[in-house]
Structure 1
Amino acid sequence: MNGRELQRCAAGRARELPATTLEFPFGPDVDVFKVRGKVFMFHAEVEGEPCVTLKALPSDSMSLRDAHADITPGYHMNKRHWITLHPGGTLTAGMVTELVTESYRLVVAGLPRSLQPVEPHAFGRGQRS
């Protein structure tokens, strides 16, 4: 999957998620996806290459980076809690979709219960929501 396909796949899933907004606080070249005002994904170019940056549990982040050369620590983010997906490697559309969903769930779990648009621990588990 090339960089634009990677970003399209991730954005397509993000748009399906409840209460998601797309904003451009860093200018028109950086797509920032939020849920209730909190970032769960952004698209940028890293060294001229379109990439996707997502939130991840630190243990998952480490495992994913070890297993996939095209997953690196989060670009311009906390390296323990964020990952960047790069094109041209082993990532599949299904994996990208699940990583976007997991990032969303992690951010929703950190919101006050009254602001959570879904139950974060159950949302999307075992089926595509």
Structure 2
Amino acid sequence: MQQQQLEKYGLTKPGAWEDYPFGPEPLVLKTGSKMFALLTEESVSLKCDPVIAESLREQHKAITPGYHLNKKHWNSIALDGSLSLEELQAMMDHSYELVFRSLTKAEREKISEAK
């Protein structure tokens, strides 16, 4: 259930779109040309500032270094109900902002114009 809610929420972000680069699962949410979320039924992986990522991992058993991702910059979060939807959405907001800022100026402008 949280996976579907996060998918819907992620798609409300400016320029967000779905991709399936690895097959039918996982669902990848991108803005511009870059991924900001990777969703399965069991987990979501989100980009995170390295200092914040480490702190979140210490605070929550459900948060681990990104599975098959850069473990310094990505967290994988088990969708086991231990974190609220609001907490997960805040983490997704952070991931989106980090990725959006890393886009090229042309990509950012194109997304901003489409709002």
TM over 0.5: yes
Structure 1 residues not aligned, in runs of 5+: 119-129
Contact 2:3/2:40 (CA < 8 Å) preserved in 1? Answer: no
**2:48 aligned with 1:52:** no
**1:124 aligns to what?**
none
**1:39 aligns to what?**
35
Pick aligned residue for 1:111 from 87, 103, 115? 103
Which 4+ runs in 1 deviate beyond 4 A? none
Structure 2 residues not aligned, in runs of 5+: none
Pick aligned residue for 1:93 from 72, 78, 85? 85
Residue identity matched to 2:31: V
Contact 2:18/2:29 (CA < 8 Å) preserved in 1? Answer: yes
* Secondary structure at the counterpart of residue 16 of structure 1: coil
Residue identity matched to 1:43: L
* Secondary structure at the counterpart of residue 25 of structure 1: coil
More helix by share: 2
Contact 1:70/1:89 (CA < 8 Å) preserved in 2? Answer: no
* Secondary structure at the counterpart of residue 7 of structure 1: helix
Q: Aligned equivalents of 1:32 and 1:71: distance in 2? A: 19
Displacement after TM superposition at 1:37 (Å): 1.2
* Secondary structure at the counterpart of residue 52 of structure 1: strand
Displacement after TM superposition at 1:60 (Å): 0.7
Displacement after TM superposition at 1:16 (Å): 0.6
Q: Aligned equivalents of 1:98 and 1:12: distance in 2? A: 14
Q: For residues 31-58 of structure 1, give each alpha carbon's deviation from its aligned partner in whole angstroms, at most 9, with x where no partner exists.
A: 011100101111136xxxx110010000
**2:69 aligned with 1:73:** no
TM-score, normalised to structure 2, is: 0.89
The alignment yields a C-alpha RMSD, in angstroms, of 1.3
